[in-house]
């Protein structure tokens, strides 16, 4: 996956996370799962920059 595609996935998941956080508590399993997925994508992106 290239940086551009990964960046789009990150932005999409970030937007979904923000919208979900408005409706669910931050401690909900759904929010935690989305947050972990976002962390993994961000880590991959950072590795591509090296």
* CA 34/CA 28 separation, integer angstroms: 10
Please give the tally of structural domains in the chain: 1
Residue 1's pLDDT is 83
- For the chain of 50 residues, list the mean pLDDT of each consecutive stretch of 10: 95 98 97 98 95
Residue 5's pLDDT is 96
Provide the residue range defining the domain that includes 11. 3-49
């Amino acid at each position: 996956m290239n940086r551009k595609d990964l960046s789009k996935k990150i932005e999409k998941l970030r937007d979904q996370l923000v919208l979900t956080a408005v409706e669910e508590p931050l401690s909900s399993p759904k929010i935690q799962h989305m947050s972990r997925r976002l962390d993994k994508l961000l880590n991959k992106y950072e590795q591509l920059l090296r």
